[in-house]
Structure 1
Amino acid sequence: MASTSFDLERGVAGGPRWSRRRLVAAGLAVFVLAGAAVAVVDDGMYAVGDGLAGSVGPEAGSAAVSGSGGDVVTGPAGSSAPVGSDEAAASADLARPAPSGVAVAPPVVPGGEPRVVKHAEMAIEVQGPIPQAFDRVADVARGQGGFVVSSSTSSFEEGPGRADLTLRVPAERFDATRAALSEVGEVRSVQVAGDDVTAQLVDLDARLRSLRAEEEALNGLLAQAGDVGEVLAVRQQVSATRMEIEQLAAQQASLEDLAAFSTLRVALTQPGAAFAGGPEPVAGLDRSLARALEGAVAVVGGMVVVAGYAGPFLVLGLLAWAGQKVARLRRRPA
């Protein structure tokens, strides 16, 4: 019985050469499928991570605010405006969590009162013209002793308009301001949060007192320095200490300002407009194309990951193949 040999160069039993092409095509298919699998797994991991972040967020850095603090009030559509503020991020950067299992006494800020950075977002639907509602919101801010930090308006010949305002009001007028704003129109969504920065301010105050005492001692050494080398060395330490004092003092002043004046973001819309705070609606075909593009980019990214992991094995495979070719050439008769 004749034996059948397999050779990638000539196919099976001396057949056509398309067998190697099949192997290459199969390898490419496996490569693409592996990239798609990595993209799906990554997408699932990001979804889980977002869910975990949302579940631990309030415990990590937020404190309930009096009244409806921390509660989310949704409108008829069942949606809520997202909250994300530079003030919260600034206070979170200075947070130092206490070790688990250790009882920590409530910190005491110089002055005796706790410091809470309050911020809120409100989506209000108005029946009248947007400029008129805009002026009412600005009047509310001024009437409560606050001011408008930034604002933007958009109006169209046809269709509803929109206005967005960022207000800052004294912290003690925070609840009264929200109550006054609710009279401007129908409140579609409200989200209120507070970040307790008491511990950060206590820590900053202690560090500043220590650094100022150190600076005073260094100035005493500078007055007693004898030669030029000692003077330069002490001056360098004084400059470094002074710079650190100024940085910490700026952080302290920023936190005090954020706690003294609360921030409210107000979105004004007219009936028929997209829900304030949410993304603009996208047509069905455009949405499908956008999702297809995102999927393609994710698959390409997955293929890059697969290539990175498979790269060393491919190099070893190529070296083995090259060694086999060289051995065959040497075995051929002259």
Structure 2
Amino acid sequence: MHTSPSARSVRALSGILLAASLALAGCSGANDSGGGSAKSDAGASAPKAETAGGAAADGKATRGTPRLAPDAIIRTASLTVEVKDAAKALAQARATAEGAGGYVGDETTSRDADGHERTRVVLRVPGEKYDEVLTGLEGTGRLVDRTAKAVDVTDQVVDVDSRIRTQRASVNRIRTLMDRATKLSDVVTLEGELSSRQADLEALLARQASLKDRTSLATVTLSLSETPVQRADDDPGFTDALAGGWHVFVSMLRWIALALGAALPFVALAALLMLLWLRVVRPRLPRRTEAAPAMTAFGPLPSARPAPDSAEETGRD
């Protein structure tokens, strides 16, 4: 079967079109695959760039924002503990404070009339060891009273730090002006201003040091007593009243004995002076003579005689 030339040309044209479409499809597939990988690479690098930019922005914000003091808290506590041996308990408290990196700031020890010791000690301990030290101190005896207090002074710390930076810059400006001043009057004026601002700066530095000391070290006041200590919320009973009355009575007798002992030297001196007066001085004094009767033209006046007793007058009658 023979085909016509027109049919052959149509078949050839159809083959050419099919080959061209297949070639275009392959090129488009290659372009899509390459573009997808490029887009994926761009998408993967975009978050990295964004993260880096965000980190840089955060770094700038962190550098620009002043850091607050992480532990600007003043901690104080007061403990009252009843112990059997105050000296031993004091040594234990001292060891607890020094073991935590602190020290003993103040110590006062007294003894009552019965010979019992009472000790009051102030301990300075690091803030991070505050709770641990309190627990150790409570174990020295019977805890009678405990008071703890924490005050946040972050605002004060930030304010003082900012004022110190401003004051230092002000002092540096005054010093720069002094270096450039040529007139004596200007130098004198600037020196007075510099002294004033320097004094303000030193006061701020002292306050900063005080805040740093009070926030870095907690203050614990410990009272140790060998005598029974009554709680603040306990009502006194009959035995407490009896013991208090006996204590007052003994104290009164002791004060009376002290007063007599103090007055005894003066009493002895007064008795000695009186004895010297009666035994030595008075016997040597001249005795007074009787006054002579008054003389008249008819002779001396009779001396006055004492009136007779009523019994003698009755007998004469």
> TM-score normalised to the size of structure 1?
0.48
Matches within 5 A, 1:18-167: 110=67, 112-126=69-83, 128-156=84-112, 158=114, 160-167=116-123
Show the counterpart of 2:151.
195
Show the counterpart of 1:238.
194
**8 Å contact 2:75–2:127 — kept in the other structure?**
yes
Instruction: Write the letter of the residue equivalent to 2:117.
Output: G
**8 Å contact 2:82–2:228 — kept in the other structure?**
no
Q: Deviations over 1:191-219 (max 9, x none)?
A: 10011111111111111111111111111
Change (3 A) 1:249 1:155: same
CA RMSD of aligned residues (A): 2.5
SS of structure 2 residue aligned to 1:123: strand
Q: Shift in Å at residue 161 of structure 1?
A: 2.7
Q: Shift in Å at residue 239 of structure 1?
A: 1.1
- Higher mean C-alpha deviation, range 130-139 or range 154-163: 154-163
**8 Å contact 2:145–2:231 — kept in the other structure?**
no
Show the counterpart of 1:169.
125
Change (3 A) 1:272 1:159: farther
Q: Shift in Å at residue 270 of structure 1?
A: 2.3
Show the counterpart of 1:217.
173
Structure number with higher helix proportion: 2
Change (3 A) 1:133 1:207: same
Change (3 A) 1:210 1:250: same
Q: Any unmatched runs of 5+ in structure 2? A: 1-64, 235-240, 249-317
SS of structure 2 residue aligned to 1:162: strand
Change (3 A) 1:175 1:240: same
Show the counterpart of 2:34.
none
Q: Any unmatched runs of 5+ in structure 1? A: 1-107, 287-334
Higher relative contact order (CA 8 A, sep 6+): 1
Question: How far apart are the structure 1 equivalents of 2:179 and 2:112?
Answer: 70
Question: How far apart are the structure 1 equivalents of 2:159 and 2:207?
Answer: 11
Instruction: Write the letter of the residue equivalent to 1:167.
Output: L
**8 Å contact 2:82–2:227 — kept in the other structure?**
yes
Question: How far apart are the structure 1 equivalents of 2:103 and 2:69?
Answer: 27
Change (3 A) 1:154 1:219: same
> TM-score normalised to the size of structure 2?
0.51
Q: Shift in Å at residue 274 of structure 1?
A: 5.2
Q: Shift in Å at residue 114 of structure 1?
A: 3.7
SS of structure 1 residue aligned to 2:228: coil
